[in-house]
Amino acid sequence: MANNYDAVDAEGYEKLMGRFGDTLAAAFLGFTGHPAGQTILDVGCGTGALTFALAARGDHASIVGIDPAEPYLAYARRRNTDPRIRFDSGDATALPYPDASFDRACCQHVLQFLPDPFPAVAEMRRVVKPGGMVAACVWDGYGGQPHLRMLWDTASALGFDRDRCLFRPLDSEGEMEAMWRRAGLVDVRQDQIAMRFGFADFADYWTPFLSGDAPAGQLVASLTAEQRTALEKQVRHVFLSGRPDGPRSFVIAAWICKGIVPT
Q: pLDDT for 169-180, tens place per residue?
A: 888 889 999 999
Helix (H, G, I), strand (E, B) or coil at 71: helix
pLDDT tens for 188-229 read 999 999 989 899 999 999 998 998 877 888 899 999 999 999
What is d(CA 97, CA 175) in angstroms, rounded to the nearest whole number?
27
pLDDT recorded at residue 6 = 54
Note the pLDDT of residue 2.
43
Total Cβ atoms within 10 A of residue 153: 15
What is residue 199's predicted lDDT score, i.e. its pLDDT? Answer: 93
Q: What's 38's DSSP letter?
A: -
User: What is the Cα–Cα distance from 258 to 121, expressed in whole angstroms?
Assistant: 11
Q: Is 61 helix (H, G, I), strand (E, B) or coil?
A: coil
Q: Which residues contact 111 (CB under 8 A, 6 or more apart)?
A: 44, 92, 117, 120, 121, 136, 138, 169, 170
Question: Which of 2-11, 43-52, 129-138, 228-237 comes out lowest in average pLDDT?
Answer: 2-11
Average pLDDT, the chain: 90
10-260, what's its fold?
Rossmann fold (3.40.50)
Q: Which long-range contacts link 224-231 to residues 24+ away (Cβ below 8 Å)?
A: 227/158, 227/160, 230/158, 230/160, 231/151, 231/154, 231/155, 231/158, 231/160
Using the predicted structure, report yes or no on whether residue 31 has a pLDDT greater than 60. Answer: yes
Of 146, 116, 129, 141, give the one whose Cα is nearest residue 4. 116
pLDDT attached to residue 215: 83
For 79, phi then psi, to 5°, come to: -80, -20
Instruction: Return the pLDDT at 11.
Output: 63
Q: Measure the CA–CA gap between 163 and 181, rounded to whole angstroms.
A: 31
Length of the chain: 263
Cβ–Cβ under 8 Å, residues 252 and 196: yes
Terminal-to-terminal C-alpha distance of the chain? 29
- Rounded CA-CA distance 195/26 in Å is 10
For the segment 144-164, the average pLDDT, to the nearest whole number, is 88
- Give residue-wise pLDDT tens across range 224-246: 999 999 999 999 999 999 999 99
Q: Torsion-angle region of residue 145: left (phi > 0), alpha (psi -120 to 50) or beta? A: beta
Per-residue pLDDT at 5 exceeds 70:
no
pLDDT in tens, 45-74: 988 989 999 999 878 999 999 999 898 899
Delimit the domains of the chain by residue range.
Answer: 10-260
pLDDT, tens only, 150-159: 999 999 999 9
Under the banding of pLDDT at 50, 70 and 90, the label for residue 35 is: confident
Predicted confidence (pLDDT) at residue 166 exceeds the cutoff of 90: no
The pLDDT, as a whole number, for residue 177 is 97
**Rounded mean pLDDT, 93-101:** 98
pTM of the full predicted structure?
0.87
Q: Residue 125 class from Cβ within 10 Å (0-12 exposed, 13-18 middle, 19+ buried)? A: buried
